[in-house]
A and B are shown apart, each in its own frame.
Chain A
Amino acid sequence: MGSSNSTLSKIPNLGRLIEETGFTPAHIKRLYKRFQALDKGNKGYLSPQDFGSVKELATNPIGDRIIGAFFSQGQETVDFHSFVRILAHFRPLDKNRAKRPDSPEPINSRISKLRFAFQLYDQDNDGKISRDELLQVLRTMLEMQVTEEQLESIADRTIQEADLDGDNAISFDEFRKVNADTFLRIPSPVTPSQITVWLIVL
């Protein structure tokens, strides 16, 4: 009769994880099963190769960057906690969250989502999206389909529009401002047991 509880009891620091990420125990259990399914060698952590078995990720132009987002600087492994924390970015916004001044920014707030997306561009983590970094992303998204000149013109135009302080790069603040107008996509009613992935840009 205790099969549901035995899985959860295997996860250390469950309470803290729930508090930090805002997932429910049912979600966490589901994610744990997913983690175990991806962890082919039963190692207890994931390595970049484990993500390779996800077919749709390999066909995603920025698949490598997404995988890289799970591994923080210099790390070769990601444990379950970090796995869940990264995925927590994509939880829908808590609309009725009371703003407590001393509490840390929740993982799924607008700012956090934006920061996550910013880091996909800014691979060297210097706080700015340089022209080169932008070109790199454009190249992976478009590759053979456009010429190098077209890529460069797209990159130049984008920087021109976004760059406010004239340093020919996009900082996080400028990134935020560019995406300031895109507002929430109102999700359709979702049953609590399904996790919806929305990227809300503001």
Chain B
Amino acid sequence: MGWFPSPFDNLLCMLLGISFTVWFTLLLVFIIVPAIFGVSFGIRRLCMKTLIKIFEWATLRIERGAKEKKHLLYKPYTNGIIAKEPTSLEEEIKEIRRSGSSRDLGAASQEFELSDIFYFCRRGMESIMDDEVTKRFSAEELESWNLLTRSNYNFQYISLRLTVLWGLGVLIRYGFLLPLRVTLAFTGVGLLVVLTTLVGCLPNGRMKSFLSEKIHLMCYRICVRALTAIITYHDSENKPKNGGICVANHTSPIDVIILASDGCYAMVGQIHGGLMGVIQRAMVKACPHIWFERSEVKDRHLVAKRLSDHAEDKTKLPILIFPEGELLKSGVHSSAIAPLARASGLCMWAAGIGLWEASFSPAFLFLGLSSGTCINNTSVMMFKKGSFEIGATVYPVAIKYDPRFAEAFWNSSKFGMVNYLLRMMSSWAVVCSVWYLPPMHKEEGEDAVQFANRVKAAIARQGGLVDLLWDGGLKRDKVKDTFKEEQQKLYSKMLVGAQEDRSRS
């Protein structure tokens, strides 16, 4: 007597074996091979269109259901919390006064009234409840529901069909898409390391750079498919060329993958240990990236020199840099990043969605991960004053994510990196648009801050993002004077103009 493998076990093993083979063949044919050649079957776009239709149906269903049950629908941002009416200062104050019916409308009503304060008070309260700046930095709330409960606040039981659909969505996302994507991610990264090491053995020359370009592109494309990112590139004729610096706005850590899958860039960052370090060391064998040892980072001159050397060498790839956002976490000093940031002489700003709370770009993410710290305000300030030592051509790039499919914004205070990646991979897809803007040079007589603002404005305009000059408390005193004056001017024009009339008559 013993344990005999029953025929069922054999059958099971066979089935498993077959399904794995089928799985990998499909993977190879539909995903990896196209990635190698940079073509696409268009399957993803088809899925995208189908999904949009389903989302619209789901949203309508929720709204209908809520109306039936008389639940208050938590309607996302159309105008924000407040029903703001865009009236001017003068109109509103007049109306507040005019509602005192016993008064005569004339010069007398143009004088100061105790009720005038109400206008300013109301404006103030409106802005406390809901303002442009802070609004941008929480995750954009959706008009339509994308079958992810993480982005929906209204989810209560509405109908069986909706719940079934949602359940099906969960099944597909976690049961099918997630394993697929994780496999792809591992494949992509693994291939990158292996192949770049192999290419690194070749002697420097045209062959080597040609091969390394192809390999980098291929592996990044696999990673892009690992996230199911559907990217639309606009204006590819403005793609960054050698000997320049590519600057993009930063929403999420996957920005670098998105850009790098369309062109070859030299990355900037600090060397890590562990898996990251292995990847970095492999990459640098194939083509020159700029990795710094931790000790080197503190030496700003060395950093600046290396960056400018690289940028001046026309045969080298364009440097990819994400301007950092300002991090409002208090108390923690950065030792590593501030010198690097200062030394590279680039100016930073907070542009685009999510930059406020976001951690660093992937290029600088390496720094962030190792030192686990954030910039404090003074570093960013010093940054802005840093001179543009490199003086190379700047190629701005605008990246904009479609929030309907996945929440690309990474709230680094809430989620860690792995958590974020898992969320990305278990969403439907990452849909984004990339615009390559024409190159910009620093003009004569322009200082670094102005140049930075110019570039930032161009990026913001293209991406339809709000161009935020606001520094979040940094320059509060200065703002008080200039902007407040405008309000005061408007108000006084109303009053003083009337007084003059009165004295004349």
Contacts and interface: CB of A to CB of B under 8 A. Distances in A.
Contacts of A154: 111-112, 495
A51 interface: yes
A7 B74 CA distance: 13
Contacts of B100: 179, 181-183
Contact of A34 (B81, B115, B483): B81
A3 B128 contact: no
A17 interface: no
B124 A62 contact: yes
A100 B82 CA distance: 30
A162 B96 CA distance: 18
Contact of B473 (A52, A117, A191): A52
Interface string A36-67: 01101110000001011111111111110010
A158 interface: yes
Interface string B69-95: 000111100010111000000000001
Interface stretch (B5-13, B130-138, B268-276): B130-138
A93 interface: no
B117 A121 contact: yes
Interface in A67-104: 87, 90
B476 interface: yes
Nearest to B156: A4
A141 interface: yes
A127 interface: no
Contacts of A175: 114
B284 to A, nearest CB: 38
A16 interface: no
B117 A60 contact: no
A157 to B, nearest CB: 7
Given A55-B132, A182-B100, A142 B484 contact: no
A111 interface: no
Contact of A61 (B73, B95, B488, B495): B488
Contacts of B461: none
Interface string B118-136: 1011111111111111100
Interface residues of B, number: 72
B152 interface: yes
Nearest to B72: A26
A162 B113 CA distance: 10
Given A190-B83, A195-B82, A53 B133 contact: yes
Which of A31, A38, A87, A194 gathers most chain B CB within 10 Å? A194
Contacts, number: 208
A58 to B, nearest CB: 5
B81 A30 contact: yes
Given A145-B489, A195-B82, A57 B124 contact: yes
Contact of B114 (A34, A178, A193): A178
Contact of B99 (A4, A182, A193): A182
A185 B487 CA distance: 23
A100 B118 CA distance: 29
B101 A183 contact: yes
A122 to B, nearest CB: 12
Nearest to B482: A59
B488 A143 contact: yes
B331 to A, nearest CB: 8
Which of A33, A41, A58 gathers most chain B CB within 10 Å? A58
A37 B138 contact: yes
B129 A141 contact: no
B92 to A, nearest CB: 10
Nearest to B112: A154
Contacts of A137: 117
A42 B120 CA distance: 29
Contacts of B470: 55
A60 B132 contact: no
Nearest to B154: A4
A195 B99 contact: no
B413 A42 contact: yes
Contact of A60 (B72, B74, B484): B484
Given A87-B125, A145-B496, A179 B99 contact: no
Contacts of A184: 99
A197 B492 contact: no
B116 interface: yes
Which of A40, A154, A185 gathers most chain B CB within 10 Å? A40
Contacts of A51: 128
A193 B67 CA distance: 12
Given A38-B134, A52-B473, A146-B492, A59 B83 contact: no
B153 interface: yes
B75 A194 contact: yes
A58 B112 contact: no
A149 B470 CA distance: 36
Interface in B445-486: 470, 472-473, 476, 479-480, 483-486
18 contacts: A31-B81, A55-B131, A56-B127, A58-B483, A87-B125, A90-B122, A117-B117, A141-B491, A142-B495, A146-B496, A150-B499, A181-B99, A181-B102, A191-B75, A194-B83, A195-B81, A198-B122, A199-B122
Given A3-B153, A58-B483, 15 more contacts: A34-B81, A37-B138, A53-B133, A53-B473, A56-B127, A59-B486, A60-B484, A61-B488, A62-B121, A142-B492, A145-B491, A150-B496, A181-B101, A192-B72, A193-B74
| Across the A-B interface, the 7 shortest Cβ-Cβ residue pairs | A145-B492, A56-B127, A59-B483, A181-B100, A66-B124, A193-B75, A182-B100
